[in-house]
Amino acid sequence: MKYLTLILLSAFVMTACGKKESQGNKKALSVKVAENKAEQRIDVTVGGQPFTSYIYADKYETLKKPVLYPVRTAKGTEITRGYPLNPRKGERNDHPHHAGYWLTYGDVNGIDFWGNSSAMPKERAAELGHIKTTSIKKIESGAGQGLLEVTADWLNNDDKPILKEDTKFIFHAADNRRCIDRITTLTAQDEVVHFNDTKEGMLGIRVAHELEHPSDKPVKLSNDKGDIEIVEPDNQNVSGHYLNSEGIEGLDTWGKRAKWNTLYGKINGEDVAVAIFDHPDNVGYPTYWHSRGYGLFAANPFGAKTFTKGEKEMNFTLEPGQSVTLKYRLVVIDGKPSKADIEKAWQKWAETK
C-alpha cells in the first residue's frame, strides 16, 4: 500500500494547474500553440520547449485517427511510447493502433475505430473506420494556457461520415506539471449511432516502457502484423503502479469504476505521475478503466459487459442529430503527488462546466 502514503512534495500545488493567473509574483509560463501546415500538425510549446503536438498527418500510414504525440513532462521527458511513430530501443512493438494520446471507440455501428492501423488485414477493411480532421477552428496562445479547437469526421470504409467530432483542447502549464483538458462533442449524422458495448475504448494513452506495470506472467498482445502472440514479461527498467480514486491499486484497477486513475513510476530515475480525470457530467460516470500492465491506460464510459463479466451492458445510442459531450483531463506531474492531492485536484476540476 506504499502509494497510498506518498509524501507530498512541498512545491507541488495541483490545484494551480488550470489557472491562467501567475502565482504570487511568479510570471506564468508562456504556452504557444502553432500550426505547421506542411507537416499537418499543431505544435504546443511551453517557454519555448516542446510539450506535445496534435498530429493529423496523412504521411503516417499507421495513423487512422488524430493523436497528441509525444506528451512530455515539465522537464521534457516523454511519457508516451515511441512506437509506432518513432520506435525506441527496448520498447514493445505491439498494438500499432496505440499511438500517443487519442479518443476512439471499437464498435460504432459495427465499425472499429479503435483497432484500425496499417497492420490490419485487407479482409477486415469493410469493418474498419478512420477519423479525419476536417478543420482547425481556433488556435490561441497565452500565459499559462493555450487553446486548440478542431473538427473531425468519423468515417466508415466508404468514407461516409457516421459522427461529426468537435473537440476543444486546453493546454495548461505550471512549474512541475502539465495538464490537457479534452472536451469532445460527438454528433450523429443521418443515421442512428450505436456505441455497442466493448472494452476497446475510449480515451487512451500508451505510456513509455518505464511506466508499464511489472508482471511475472506472459501476456497476449496484438503484434505489428495484427496477429495475437504470447509475449514473455520484460521488467527491465519497468516501475509503473496504478492507483485509483477508490484506493484500488495495481492491475486490480482494470475494469473497476473510478472518478480518476493515476499511474506512478520512474523514467531515467525521476519520479513521474500520470493521471486521467473523468468528469461528473460524462455518460457512464464514474467510468470503467481499461488499465493494462503493458502500458495501455484508458477510460471507457461505454463498455461494461467485459468489465463486469456480463452482469451489466451499456450500448449507448444517439439518434440522428443528437450529440454527446465527453470531458477529460490528463495531468502529467514531475514528482510523487499523494492520493489526497490527486483527489483535491480532481474535485476542483470536476466543478468546471
Contacts of 80 by beta carbon, 8 Å cutoff, 6+ apart: 69, 70, 71, 100, 101, 205, 206, 207, 208
What pLDDT was estimated at residue 232?
Answer: 73
What pLDDT was estimated at residue 226?
Answer: 67
For every residue of 196-246, DSSP letters joined together read ---SSEEEEEEB-GGGSPP-SS-EEEE-TTS-EEEE----TT---EEEETT
What pLDDT was estimated at residue 200?
Answer: 96
The tally of CA atoms less than 13 A away on the side-chain side of residue 288 is 23
Give me Rg for the CA atoms of the chain.
19
- The phi, psi pair for 127, rounded to 5°, reads -105, 10
What pLDDT was estimated at residue 254?
Answer: 97
Residue 338: Cβ-neighbour burial (10 angstroms; 0-12, 13-18, 19+) = middle
DSSP code of residue 257 = B
Task: State how many domains the chain has.
Answer: 1
Name the stretches of the chain with pLDDT < 70: 1-16, 18-26, 221-227
What pLDDT was estimated at residue 221?
Answer: 67
On whether the CB atoms of residues 186 and 179 are closer than 8 A, the answer is no
Q: What is the pTM of this model?
A: 0.92
What pLDDT was estimated at residue 78?
Answer: 98
CATH assignment of the domain containing 24: 2.70.98
15-43 pLDDT, tens digit each: 447 554 444 446 899 999 999 999 999 99
Distance set, CA 3 to CA 6, 229, 242, 346 (Å): 5, 32, 9, 18
Residue with cell 514493445: 92
Distance CA 31, CA 34 (A): 10
Using the CB atoms, write b or e for 151-180: b if 16+ within 10 Å: ebbbbbeeeebbbbbbbbbbbbbbebbbbb
What pLDDT was estimated at residue 319?
Answer: 98
What pLDDT was estimated at residue 301?
Answer: 97
Helix, strand counts (H, E) of the chain? 1, 21
Q: Strand 316-318 vs strand 161-174: parallel, antiparallel, or unpaired?
A: unpaired
Contacts of 24 by beta carbon, 8 Å cutoff, 6+ apart: none
What pLDDT was estimated at residue 283?
Answer: 97
Range of the domain at 316: 2-350
CA 45, distance to chain mean position in Å, is 19
Q: Is 252 helix (H, G, I), strand (E, B) or coil?
A: helix
What pLDDT was estimated at residue 61?
Answer: 83
